[in-house]
C-alpha cells in the first residue's frame, strides 16, 4: 500500500496465525491482522470526556481533525483499521495525518534478545539516573526514516555534554553568589516560601522560558516593593542579578532580552556591565552545549536547586 512518492509504504500483512489469509501468498504464511479493538481507545476516550450522544456528533464535525501518532509496528491498526471503523460507524472524517516512528536500532542492527543484542533499562539504571538516561537517548529520537541507530560512543558523548551543562548551571549560581555577595538570608527565606516561588517552580516544570522570564520579573518587582525597608537598593540589585544569572544558565538567548530589563529597574551601572560581560563570556564558551534539546532537561535540576 503506497501513499505516494514522498511517503513510506505501509505493510498490511504479517506472519500471524489469527488473521485474514492472503490467497496469492506463495508462502501461505502471511495474513492481514484483524485486531480492530486496538483502535477503540480513541473513541472510548472521546466518549468519556463528552457523552454517548455527543461523541459521534463531535467526530463528524467539519472542524474535527485527526492526527495519529504510532510506532512502526502499529501501522496497520492506526491506518487501515481506524479508517474502516470510521466507515462502519458512518464517521465521514478520516485521519488527516499519520505520524510513524521508526524502530530504534542498536549499533545499526535490530534489537534481538535471542542474539544477546540488546540493552535493558534495569541494567543501565544502576549506573545513571533516569533523567540523565532520557537526555542521552533524546538525540537518537526519530533521526531518520530507516530507524535511529543507538551507539554507545554517541550515548557517552551526549551524557558528557549533559553533565557539562549541569556543571555550568551550578557554576553560574555559585558565581552569582560570589560576585554579587548574595547574603540576605531573610529575603531568601521569604522568597523560598512565597507564592511567587511556588509559581516559578511550577513554570520550570511546565512552562516555556519566555513565560518563566516574564512571570519572574513581575514577581520580583512585586516582592521587593513589599519587602522590609531595610532591604537596600544595592541588595535588590544583587538579588536581581543572581536571578538573572540563573535564567541565563537556562537559555543563552536571554542575553538579548536583558536590554529591555535595564529600563524597568533601578540598576547599578558597574554591576550591570559586570553581569553582561559574564553572560557574553559564558555564552561563547558554552554555546554548543546549551541548545533547545538540552534546556528541557536542565529545568529539572534547576528546580531541585531552587527548592
108-112, 192-196, 201-205 — which is least confidently predicted?
A: 201-205
9: Cβ–Cβ under 8 A, 6 or more apart, which residues?
Answer: 1, 2, 3
Calculate the average pLDDT of the chain. Answer: 62
144 with 204, same domain: the answer is no
* Contact present, 258 and 279 (Cβ < 8 Å): yes
pLDDT at residue number 155: 80
Residue 143: give its domain's CATH number. 3.40.50.620
- State pLDDT tens for residues 237-272: 555 555 555 555 444 444 444 444 443 333 444 554
* Contact present, 76 and 12 (Cβ < 8 Å): yes
- State pLDDT tens for residues 149-197: 788 788 877 777 766 665 655 555 555 444 444 444 554 455 455 555 5
Distance linking the first and last C-alpha atoms of the chain: 54
Query: Which of 96, 121, 154 is the C-terminal boundary of a domain?
Result: 154
Beta bridge partners of residue 97, listed in sequence order: 67
- State pLDDT tens for residues 24-61: 777 778 887 766 666 777 777 777 777 766 778 888 88
CA-based nearest residue to 196, from 161, 164, 229, 221: 221
pLDDT at residue number 192: 52
CA-based nearest residue to 264, from 207, 229, 226, 213: 213
182 with 55, same domain: the answer is no
Query: What is the DSSP annotation of 219-283?
Result: HHHHHHHTS-TT--HHHHHHHHHHHHHHHHHH-TTHHHHHHHHHTTS---HHHHHHHHHHHHHHH
Number of domains in the chain: 2
Q: Of 76 and 114, which is predicted with more confidence?
A: 114
| Domain membership of residue 65 as a residue range | 14-154
The answer as to whether 5 is a domain residue is no
pLDDT at residue number 199: 55
CA-based nearest residue to 306, from 242, 263, 255, 251: 242
The answer as to whether 217 is a domain residue is yes
Looking at mean pLDDT, say which of 4-8, 122-126, 193-197, 210-214 comes out highest: 122-126
Beta bridge partners of residue 106, listed in sequence order: 109, 150
Question: pTM of the predicted model, to two decimals?
Answer: 0.36
Beta bridge partners of residue 2, listed in sequence order: 9
The answer as to whether 82 is a domain residue is yes
Mean pLDDT throughout 215-222? Answer: 59
285: Cβ–Cβ under 8 A, 6 or more apart, which residues?
Answer: none
102 with 201, same domain: the answer is no
pLDDT at residue number 180: 42
Q: Of 28 and 203, which is predicted with more confidence?
A: 28
pLDDT at residue number 132: 73
Beta bridge partners of residue 33, listed in sequence order: 19
- Cα–Cα distance, 268 to 240 (Å, whole number): 11
Vertex 226 angle, CA 222 and 231, to 5°:
110
Q: Element (H or E) spanning 258, and its range?
A: helix 254-262
Kindly report the backbone phi and psi dihedral angles of residue 95, in degrees, each rounded to the nearest multiple of 5, phi listed first: -55, 135
- Cα–Cα distance, 262 to 84 (Å, whole number): 60
Amino acid at each position: 500500500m503506497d501513499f505516494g512518492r514522498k511517503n513510506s509504504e505501509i505493510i498490511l500483512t504479517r506472519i500471524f496465525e489469527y488473521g485474514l489469509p492472503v490467497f496469492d501468498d506463495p508462502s501461505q504464511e502471511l495474513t492481514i491482522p484483524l485486531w480492530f479493538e486496538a483502535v477503540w481507545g480513541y473513541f472510548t476516550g472521546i466518549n468519556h470526556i463528552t457523552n454517548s450522544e455527543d461523541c459521534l456528533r463531535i467526530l463528524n464535525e467539519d472542524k474535527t481533525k485527526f492526527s495519529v501518532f504510532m510506532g512502526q509496528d502499529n501501522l496497520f491498526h492506526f491506518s487501515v483499521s481506524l479508517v474502516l471503523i470510521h466507515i462502519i460507524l458512518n464517521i465521514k472524517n478520516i485521519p488527516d495525518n499519520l505520524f510513524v516512528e521508526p524502530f530504534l536500532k542498536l549499533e545499526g542492527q535490530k534489537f534481538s534478545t535471542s542474539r544477546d543484542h540488546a540493552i535493558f533499562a534495569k541494567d543501565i539504571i544502576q549506573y545513571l539516573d533516569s533523567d540523565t538516561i532520557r537526555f542521552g537517548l533524546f538525540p537518537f529520537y526519530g533521526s531518520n526514516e530507516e530507524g535511529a541507530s543507538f551507539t554507545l560512543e554517541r550515548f557517552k558523548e551526549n551524557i558528557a555534554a549533559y553533565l557539562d551543562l549541569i556543571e555550568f548551571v551550578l557554576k553560574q549560581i555559585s558565581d552569582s553568589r560570589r560576585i554579587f555577595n548574595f547574603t540576605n538570608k531573610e529575603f531568601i527565606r521569604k522568597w523560598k516560601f512565597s507564592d511567587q516561588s511556588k509559581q516559578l517552580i511550577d513554570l520550570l516544570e511546565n512552562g516555556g522560558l519566555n513565560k518563566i522570564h516574564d512571570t519572574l520579573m513581575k514577581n520580583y518587582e512585586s516582592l521587593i516593593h513589599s519587602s522590609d525597608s531595610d532591604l537596600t537598593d544595592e541588595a535588590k540589585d544583587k538579588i536581581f542579578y543572581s536571578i538573572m544569572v540563573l535564567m541565563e544558565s537556562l537559555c543563552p538567548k536571554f542575553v538579548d532580552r536583558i536590554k529591555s530589563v535595564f529600563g524597568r529597574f533601578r540598576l547599578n551601572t558597574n554591576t550591570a556591565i559586570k553581569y553582561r560581560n559574564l553572560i557574553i563570556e559564558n555564552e561563547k564558551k558554552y554555546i554548543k552545549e546549551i541548545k533547545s534539546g538540552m534546556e528541557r532537561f536542565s529545568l529539572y535540576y534547576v528546580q531541585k536547586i531552587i527548592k
